[in-house]
Chains A and B, each alone.
Chain A
Amino acid sequence: MDTPVKVFNKRSPDGFIDFLSLGKKLEILNSQDKLKIDSSINVAILSSSSMNGVSSVLTAQCSSFNVFSNIYVAEYGQYAQEIFNSESRLYSFNADLIIINIDFKSIAEGYGFLPYKETEEGRKSWLNETIVFFEGLVSEVTRKSSAKVLLHNLEVPVYSPMGIIENKETYGFFESVEDVNRELRDKYKLSNQVFIFDFNGFCSRIGKANVLDYKMYYLADIKVKTHFIPDLCSDYSKYIQSLLYKTKKCIVLDLDNTLWGGIVGEVGIEGVHLGPTPEGRPFLEFQKKLLALHSKGIILAINSKNNEDDAMEVIKNHPYMVLTEECFAATRINWDDKVSNLKSLVEEISIGLDSIVFFDDDQMNRDMVRTLLPEVSVVELPKDFSLYVDTLESLNYFEILSLSYEDTQRNKMYQSEKKRKKLLKNTQTLPNYLRSLNLSIYIEEAKKTTIPRIAQLTQKTNQFNLTTQRHTEKSIQVLANNNDFRVISIRVTDKFGDNGITGLAIISIKDAISWQIETFLLSCRIIGRKAEEVLLAYLINEAKAHNAKFVYGYFVESKKNSLVKDFYSINGFEKIDSTAQESTWRFDTKNDYKCPSYIKYKVL
């Protein structure tokens, strides 16, 4: 059976009907249990107007990043009943994300038509009542559910009975709606549960004159024209992608006709188009947009067919080159094929192919990567390079719900990694190298500030992951609050920098005699520095200290974790049971477990 990704790759749907029918197909496959998919998410939609079609279109779009969205759309107009009744489907559905779309027309039936029937005071009190109304709904829903809440703000009207003197009013109609949006934004700025969906911004982008089709509105209370539902769902899907950590980490770029115009091997540094000219500005601004993403934590790399010297001359010496050598975590400038280069790039950067977005102006290269490395997201770069910036801005690969410390530091970390590799080259043996790194490891139980990163690790780690159990923030929170479990993370630093939280163990201590390691994982970034031995030593010592007789470990084979199939055997565990895919291992705490003495560690 085709996976949804393959369905997508054959022909990406572009119109509402295509999405609708793909979504329906996926819903049927799922109901027959025939859908092979990475992960799924429960999304509840509460709306004051008809959301027909949204469910199937959103499902179709989620499949493009290998997620099945299980969607509950409440009867429209029933949002308050759903929210205030603890027995409602909204809560039994166990949503991960609750979208609340209450539009201006439906809550301002009178005010929207006759705003100047009210006095200035009346308009202000409309504002206050509206805020109280939204606050009431949100506080109730967040009290009863730990799902993330995505609350639409209001579409600011463009028609006022005051006409062109609307903005001369001491406190005007438009102003009152804008203030609702401003207050909602400020109120939930610091919340990590409630997010404001900028529906007003969405309508502006689509065009307020287009978004509502009056006939559909009168016929069926549809307030977003079906034609634009894919755009709306695409904006929703940004939240789903980031909730499930489907966010891309790295942009791999071609050079000629991608970062600059022309072929440097033919026209030389003077001949390439880059700078404040009609042919150069598209590339200049494209580089600036890339630099902005880079500063947010997106890794950049180069994969280009060129003589390295020609290309480096432009990168180092062109006066309008925005991206400097230091911006690139790794480069492949050679005559090898792009696929082998991509494979060796991900190895060097220690990320998965599924974290890569590939930019290349050459159709053949794009098709080759698409076919041979289907995990890579290949951008369909338009022939007209004046559309490069627009293309980059329309991608929704780089959304995150919160910037973690690891995100902001990522590029620094890659620079440090380059230095580490240099050091390894210059030192003779691995222990010597590790000693010279001055490793420090901080061991810590999960807490509020580290839980998002911990969940992210369980979602993204494939290679050094003994059981590949995925968790959400919600499920980590539950484990952290449960006395039968311990969720222990490690943060690794060395003389080149801080790698952040990069290792994790989740142990069940329900059976006080036999502790069980349910999750044991290490981020690729720090594999090979024996940090895992420090974590394991800590677990075993803790078990001893609490009079546990045994520590059990499990290995569950996945497609990607063969690296650790002998992990427990190497570390002195005894195999007590195994099937083709799984094995159970036991460590007797009467034995000693020794970890490298040159690594300093500290329990926080």
Chain B
Amino acid sequence: MTSNNQKLITLISSVLNIDENSINNETSPENTESWDSFNALVMVSELESQFEVQFSIDEVYSVLNVKDIKNALIKHGTIF
């Protein structure tokens, strides 16, 4: 369970170029400067390839923070 959590944190940290320890469920574009529209898309691409899932455009739009990313992944069968 922790391994997927760690994988997600590492991924977000590398895409947004922020410290892993600063990432929590509430991390979002509002409180993270580097989470701009382009990095959001890069994150989608990386999530899809690393977790082997495909998100719909609706799902992409529904994500507002890290918690939402987890929920979207859970919906696709990833276990946290």
Contacts and interface: CB of A to CB of B under 8 A. Distances in A.
Interface of A: 16-18, 20-21, 24, 52-53, 213, 215-216, 218-220, 222, 225-227
Nearest to A25: B17
Given A21-B14, A21-B17, A219 B45 contact: no
Nearest to A50: B38
Contacts, number: 37
Interface in B53-73: 55, 57, 60
Contacts of B42: 16-17, 20, 53, 226
B57 A219 contact: yes
B14 A215 contact: no
- 8 shortest A-B CB distances, which residue pairs? A52-B38, A226-B45, A17-B14, A21-B17, A220-B41, A226-B42, A17-B15, A216-B41
A227 B38 contact: no
Nearest to A17: B14
B38 A216 contact: no
A213 B17 contact: no
10 contacts: A16-B42, A16-B45, A20-B42, A213-B45, A215-B60, A216-B44, A219-B41, A220-B38, A222-B41, A226-B41
B37 A220 contact: yes
B25 to A, nearest CB: 22
A20 B45 CA distance: 14
Contacts of B49: 227
Contacts of A215: 44, 55, 57, 60
B64 to A, nearest CB: 16
A20 B17 CA distance: 10
A53 B38 CA distance: 8
- Interface size classification for chain B: 10 to 19
Contacts of A218: 57
A17 B46 contact: yes
Contacts of A17: 14-15, 42, 46
A216 B57 contact: no
Nearest to A213: B45
B15 to A, nearest CB: 6
Q: Which of A24, A215, A220: most chain B CB closer than 10 A?
A: A215
B23 to A, nearest CB: 15
Contacts of B15: 17
Contacts of A227: 45, 49
Nearest to B54: A215
A222 B44 CA distance: 13
Contacts of B60: 215, 219
Nearest to B15: A17
Contacts of A16: 42, 45
Contacts of B45: 16, 213, 216, 225-227
A18 B57 CA distance: 26
A213 B47 CA distance: 14
Interface in B14-61: 14-15, 17, 37-38, 41-42, 44-46, 49, 55, 57, 60
A24 B41 contact: no
A213 B42 CA distance: 12
A53 B15 CA distance: 12
A218 B44 CA distance: 14
A227 B46 CA distance: 9
A53 B45 CA distance: 13
Given A20-B42, A219-B60, A227-B49, 8 more contacts: A17-B15, A21-B14, A52-B38, A52-B41, A215-B44, A219-B41, A222-B41, A227-B45
A21 B15 CA distance: 8
Contacts of A226: 41-42, 45
Contacts of A222: 41
A215 B43 CA distance: 13
B75 to A, nearest CB: 16
A512 to B, nearest CB: 58
A20 B49 CA distance: 17
B47 to A, nearest CB: 12
B59 to A, nearest CB: 10
Contacts of A18: 14
A133 B49 CA distance: 38
A20 B44 CA distance: 15
Contacts of A20: 42
A186 to B, nearest CB: 38
A220 B15 CA distance: 18
Residue of B14, B37, B45, B46 contacting most chain A CB atoms (<10 Å):
B45
Nearest to B49: A227
A213 B46 CA distance: 13
A219 B55 CA distance: 12
Nearest to B59: A215
A20 B41 CA distance: 13
* Residue with the greatest number of chain B CB neighbours at <10 A, chosen from A17, A18, A24, A227: A17
A134 B72 CA distance: 44
